[in-house]
Chain A
Amino acid sequence: MSPRSSAIERLASPRPRPVEVLAWLLPALAFFLVPDNLALGVSIMTYAVAVLALDLVLGYAGIVSLGHAAFFGVGAYTAGLLAVQGWKEPLTGMLLAGAVSLALGFLASFLVVRGKDLTRLMVTLGIGLVVYELANRLSSVTGGMDGLSGFEIGPIFGVFSFDLYGRTAWWYVYGVLILVFVLLRLVVSSPFGLSLRAIREGVSRMPALGASVDHRLRTAFTLSAGVTGIAGGLLAQTTQFVGIDSLSVGRSADFLVMLVLGGTGRLYGALIGTTVFMIAHDYLADMNPVYWEFWMGLLLMAVVLFARGGVVGAGRRLLQTVKTKFARAAP
């Protein structure tokens, strides 16, 4: 292949390769192979939606957000409160959850784009803390520390009712995850997605190209907040409970850890990181939570020092090494 066509080949593309299509069948396989632990699958896929959204701002645009749980929790409360008020239809409930978070994200984005890294980090953290405190104070609406429960969700398309085993929930979340992934894949392989990566790589050059950086970042942040809200809505609908910890800084940190564990700026990192994190968490559930925190902290430090790029990055490096070895062995 000429350098010209191979360079064009390397441009980001939304078109799935065959191996990707196969990979997306894995969760479906898990549905049939591990039918007694569907709840775990549902929560992995729910969080994966949120972590994908975080990857857009962090992995692509390079904004470190420590406040994404605000959008997650607001989405969850929106869907939960709608159901409490009798709005039981799940799809519109989920979309409304996304819309409310999107609106909040739009407002927040004006604050976030001001200042540099550290200021941004603090502002996102501050937004998260303010929303948490608000929910805590408005306990007559949100249920405060007790959370929101005792609501029911209607059947999907008016046909498929949520069942005790989580079968319907599983297919519901799986479908939404695929749609969200396709949407984000489209975004990151568009000119807009390229400009986000450019902002991450060299923000100081952008004005010299005639680009307005703040507007792009606001758009990315708003979109990310909306998708995170959808994830929150899914959580509320599939568990029929909203706890105040869905808004906590700890939850924001979890998202961050999942993403970094899998690898930033490549979408699949978000999926793999979330899966690894959630399965480990489930497996070690009997462990004293304090020790879980200890290992989590150690793991974070280790990833930063030794495994930049997370699981996906390490996998790529391994693949690269194997390829060059083979190339040397058979010249």
Chain B
Amino acid sequence: MRADTSILSADASIALSTERLTKVWGSFIANSDIDFRLPVGARHALIGPNGAGKTTFINMLTGVLAPTSGRVFIGGEDVTADHQERRVRKGIARTFQINNLFPGLTVLDSVLLAILERKNLAENWFRPLKSHMAEIEEAMDLITDLGLEAQAGVEVKTLAYGKQRLMEIALALASRPRILLLDEPAAGIPAGESSEVFSVIARLPSDVSILFIEHDMDLVRRFSQRITVLVGGKVLTEGAPEEIMVDPRVREVYLGESAHG
């Protein structure tokens, strides 16, 4: 354990935290000095106008992007230097705003692979896939949970768009994360149908800590316990939904804008 680990990140009730996390491209500051804490079991929403730096923040949490400065902690452990694969193995999983799936694999193939990766079985080349019955059962259970059972044997690219969004979540869940980052899980789904995605999220075990980016304020209000507002790469404010909804600054920069759009 590092001696300089800050007090807040050593707290056992905190699943994920950042310390002065900053990302700069040339003269453009995408994220600036973000201090953030995600308690264990949280349902936390990250909101903000387009270009506020939300996806950049997620990318630094998962290790896709290296921060210019600042640190990331998983359960108190400094993981800033860890690359993406290692952070996944430490319990962090994510979905992508734009589908990032395996179009030519079947639904079962995809989920099964994610499970095999988690169990470090995916480099095994002499034991047939079909003999991994425990993993196949687990994959089918997860697929059934997400209501994709009827499509288990079809290629992902032939799925309807909404089902593909569920596949994003299925792949993330297959790695049994302690921390789940959802980048606009219902992006592109017609407003009326997005609750299917969120009802899946609502059913997740309570000890999984969830951070999600979402634009639909109604969904945010229904599914989050806490909200962080990001504007221009900085944290504008953080609080419970009822506080945020009435905060005049938030209404000005964010709600005002979405009311016009």
Contact = CB atoms under 8 A, between A and B. Distances in A.
A186 B103 contact: no
A209 B125 contact: no
A30 B107 CA distance: 41
Interface centre among A3, A14, A200, A209 (most CB of B within 10 A): A209
A216 B144 CA distance: 30
A3 B150 contact: yes
A186 B125 contact: yes
Given A3-B153, A6-B153, A210-B85, A191 B116 contact: yes
Contacts of B122: 191-192, 194-195, 211
Interface in B126-146: 126-130, 132, 136, 140, 144
A191 B104 contact: no
A192 B123 contact: yes
A39 interface: no
Interface centre among A6, A12, A207 (most CB of B within 10 A): A207
A47 to B, nearest CB: 24
A201 interface: yes
B206 to A, nearest CB: 24
B62 A205 contact: no
Interface string A226-260: 00000000000000000000000000000000000
B121 A191 contact: yes
Secondary structure at the A interface, as helix, strand, loop or mixed, is helix
A16 B100 CA distance: 33
A10 interface: yes
B140 to A, nearest CB: 6
Interface centre among B85, B102, B121, B172 (most CB of A within 10 A): B102
Contacts of A205: 96, 100-102, 171
Nearest to A185: B128
Given A208-B88, A208-B100, A195 B113 contact: yes
Contact of A11 (B85, B103, B109, B118): B109
A14 B130 CA distance: 9
Contact of A4 (B89, B106, B149): B149
A4 B151 CA distance: 9
Interface string B34-56: 00000000000000000000000
Contacts of A300: none
Q: How large is the interface on A (under 10, 10 to 19, 20 to 34, 35 or more residues)?
A: 35 or more
B112 interface: yes
Nearest to B107: A7
A226 to B, nearest CB: 13
A207 B172 CA distance: 12
Contacts of B121: 191
Interface in A46-71: none
A29 B177 CA distance: 56
Interface pairs A-B: 7 shortest CB-CB: A7-B153, A7-B152, A210-B88, A192-B125, A201-B102, A207-B84, A202-B102
A11 B109 CA distance: 7
Contacts of A198: 102, 105, 109-110, 113
A189 B97 CA distance: 31
Nearest to B93: A208
A193 interface: yes
27 contacts: A3-B149, A3-B151, A7-B108, A10-B108, A10-B153, A11-B129, A12-B129, A12-B130, A190-B124, A190-B127, A191-B116, A191-B125, A193-B125, A194-B116, A194-B122, A197-B105, A198-B102, A204-B100, A205-B100, A207-B84, A207-B88, A208-B88, A208-B94, A209-B171, A210-B86, A219-B123, A219-B125
